[in-house]
Structure 1
């Protein structure tokens, strides 16, 4: 049984992340399956510096861009932390949130969490959770799109295509909020922030074995870009301005304006 935490935006899992605690003969590629879903709140809290701050402030920022009678998207919604932040902070009339993820396990658990939140709070934005591939999703006109650590899992050659479709769907005055792990073009900076991120994970109780096996699992699945690549791609997609609003170690969040 999981207890809901509106502050963290997650149901607090009773399952600690021990997925890589034992030596594996072969480390498989990382997949957002049921095993990951069970430990995901613990995993992301201990792995992504600044995550609660990013999630809560996506809701705060979204309230500045949400327009009446429009859709708000959470693309790559996982367990719905960003969707919940949008629902809590956006007070604009007749908005609704569409949360999209391609993991059936994530969608099922996200739906349960949103239902739990409905029982705890009144006057939240309505939300719909969809299982779909965002690369093939038809986007409705929208005033706010959030992609929280999602683009890095999209094939690099298809990222511009996706961002261009998001730009075309955005209403004037809307925004894209994009959070991503960064890589750095300066080798010394990359080495320093990589080691600091490892230190962050050690401080949160991960062993050297867990850190190494998780890195092996995810290296073929998650392909981070540099801040410069993000900026250039967003401008190429038709956005006119890209504003970094948050960075903690090698994790950052940007606002892209149409």
Structure 2
């Protein structure tokens, strides 16, 4: 499938609306995420590798907030456990429609891939099946802060022994100087990837009321409170990180 360059915020907007995962975003999302999130391709591919370690035969693997299905595709490439199924979930109709197209294209390129069910649903309302792997790749940060504990507790209850939750998030930092430095470095990353000052400013305005990052310590405490036994950071690039939470 052809991919468009992200130019959504390239022209001055009289009033910048809150960020929404609509058709406009879905159309440019691969370019947007690659140019906005340091280490994104590495995170995605290695979620597949990690899933290969934790996936159990005859179990469900969840990709929550699947967007266009990049993590789902990685799961299908790397998981060799027998009779697993991926359930990819997103609440954006535009993302779900395009995700299905991307997965159909993957089916045409590879044989013997894991079966996938792409579901348009709210992950807060999902009835979770027993599962060995749950991936939340930059998804929890868009869930209301007060709803995060119960969601993680429900995921923990659904996880099978030996399984794992892989949680990737943008981080904020308690130390003001550390926060300022990593924010500046992230802006440099965006500039190096071709975003203008106008695009950076307007995207920040669009997303600041929608995405609420937590600190690494907050993530750790919340996961432990939800019943996870151990939280292991496995990746960080600037202010973006990914964690393994074990049941």
TM over 0.5: yes
Residues of 1 paired with 2:85 and 2:104: CA distance?
A: 15
Partner of 1:92: 81
Which residue of the partner structure matches residue 18 of structure 1? 7
1:93-144 Cα shifts (integer Å, max 9, x gaps): 0001000000000000000110110010011101110000000000000000
* 2:69 is the counterpart of 1:80: yes
Are 1:204 and 2:204 matched, yes or no? no
After superposing on structure 2, the runs of 4+ consecutive aligned residues of structure 1 that deviate more than 4 Å are none
Shift of 1:91: 0.5
Aligned to 2:210: 221
Deviations 1:8-30 (A, max 9, x none): xxxxx1x1100000010000000
Residue 120 (str. 1) matches residue 109 (str. 2): yes
CA distance in 2, matches of 1:143, 1:236: 20
Q: 1:39 aligns with which of 28, 32, 54?
A: 28
Partner of 1:8: none
> Which structure 1 residue ranges, 5 or more long, are not aligned?
4-12
| 1:178 matches 2:167 | yes
Say if 2:240 is the partner of 1:251.
Answer: yes
Per-residue deviation, 1:53: 0.2
Mapped to 2, the partners of 1:37 and 1:111 lie a distance apart of 12
1-side partners of 2:198 and 2:55: how far apart? 44
Q: 1:81 offset after TM fit, Å?
A: 0.1
Count of residue pairs the alignment pairs up: 247
Q: Distance in 2 between matches of 1:135 and 1:177?
A: 17
What SS does the corresponding residue of 1:93 show, helix, strand or coil?
Answer: coil
Question: What does residue 17 of structure 2 align with?
Answer: 28
Q: For residues 165 and 134 of structure 2, what CA distance do their matches in structure 1 show?
A: 5
Partner of 1:190: 179
**What corresponds to 2:157 in structure 1?**
168
Normalised by the length of structure 2, the TM-score is 1.00
3-state SS, counterpart of residue 134 of structure 2 = strand
Normalised TM-score (structure 1): 0.95
Match of 1:106?
95
CA distance in 2 between partners of 1:25 and 1:112 (Å): 34
Offset, 1:75: 0.3
